Structure 1
């Protein structure tokens, strides 16, 4: 299960989502407690990237260990070491592979074995033939046994209604205890799924009170453009901090947001003036980089940038209109010089893009009459 354990690796600038789980790797007679990193493209990192099939080979060889011998040495690297005494493992090679295949499905947003089972159950409930029940039962038994009790996501009922439904009255479930299913138990299981379907339909029809969770407009990327002068129709280039849109801050006019940012970042007034009058934003950055930073700049820089962006779009309504046309799109900002301001193929924090989204929201609030609250 993925839960909140999300990671990624970057391949050719593309983020491959993943997750991790613990496992033992047997190397040189010692069992090392380590992490398996599982990725959406089907690769597993267990001290090297391997395919699922190659991972199965490592399981068969015992290099990835699900059997923990009595008296075997174990290590958690520099954390601890110990010797197994009365060890018990909850995994088999087959179960571990099944769980990993489910994880890869989940990372890709595909139905995993539980999702496929519940889809087969829906088919059976819509057309209650024994053939459809058999299909649902096979799908249920294909869920890794470690996951079956949580298949319904119901910590009170566990998977009892599911086991009963796919077995049918007069038959036994996959759990040996309890004997044949009574008609009363079966009717209760059917009623459970009918109520579950009604609840799901009501939930799907609800509109979030605070609006959508994610953006509905396609993401936009603000590429490097190195503008030298304003143009009549700059498009998204006009949203770049280095676009030549002069702004008045205090009593000083700066050629661009970038000029203002770098000028305000330096401590010496004479250097600040040189930065403000630099021919290009690149020169402004170079002058500032060679100077002493203003006191507390690291902690103030995000707030300063937000203020400069507000000034830019307040003083240049035509650029504010361009920003507003992005609707609620995620803004991805390229900044080769800074992983703080730029997204940079997923390596950076994208603060420039995030602040543009903030200022855009403030402009939208102003138009809707919510400004100044």
Structure 2
């Protein structure tokens, strides 16, 4: 039975079933074992053809030399590589099982301090207003206390000879409020018992506020921003973008119909008159580590190189944005006399690997 396998790397043919180099041609290596099980299911021997592309179609409706060309010419009955569902492929192909693969933009989120004013973040607006209200209350309280002290004969006589007694001038009271809030101490203080008690309460209150603020600011300085969580945020962030150099990435990104994806493709990935951003995965992963850079690739591929290039502490800080919501599927020829057998065999294989028993 004729079958076509798409291999974009020449070394793939040496590692089809041995589990080595899983990051190379992962779409093929996901589908190939299932296809071999399918041949066992129908008791057939594969006559394997090889291609380096899946086939994306010409304006006249034909396909270039590819796996889809073999389907169109009815040369093969089944393919050993998965393929994405496209409108021009549907007349020639039956799609019967999605593969558990995913492609995403992977990047290191920027530090929170680069996108927000972290000095305002430790407290929410309500807490900041409460702090301001406390300062006003302390100001009014100490104004009243110092005003009353100036009218008490024993304190008035003492304040004439002491430089550490707090006066009730507005400038002195404002200076005291700011100094205490910033934990800088007081150069003057009330002389009465009530004034000393009020001073103690103010110092203790501002101490707790200062400790909470300092703890939060230290955490925020080490935090990363989570604002880049969709394609529009990715575009607006001005992050550099790269894409794995494989045929399906070139086609699917170029054919995207969403306006934001068209902007990303035309301005960041393949700008007219400038070098494109298609690179190999190893270079992409190294740039993720060293730059503000997002790299699009199949996750099996990219995390293989991340394991090699990143420290353990760096891996936890990575973020992903998945763009392709459709997974590649295993296929057979729509006019094949074996298509019902392939459909039943596919269902059998799925249930077997999911742990179901079939009577």
TM-score (normalised: structure 2)? 0.23
TM-score w.r.t. length of structure 1: 0.22
More relative contact order in 1 or in 2 (CA 8 Å, sep 6+)? 2
Greater Rg by CA: 2
Q: Whose helix fraction is larger, Structure 1's or Structure 2's? A: 2
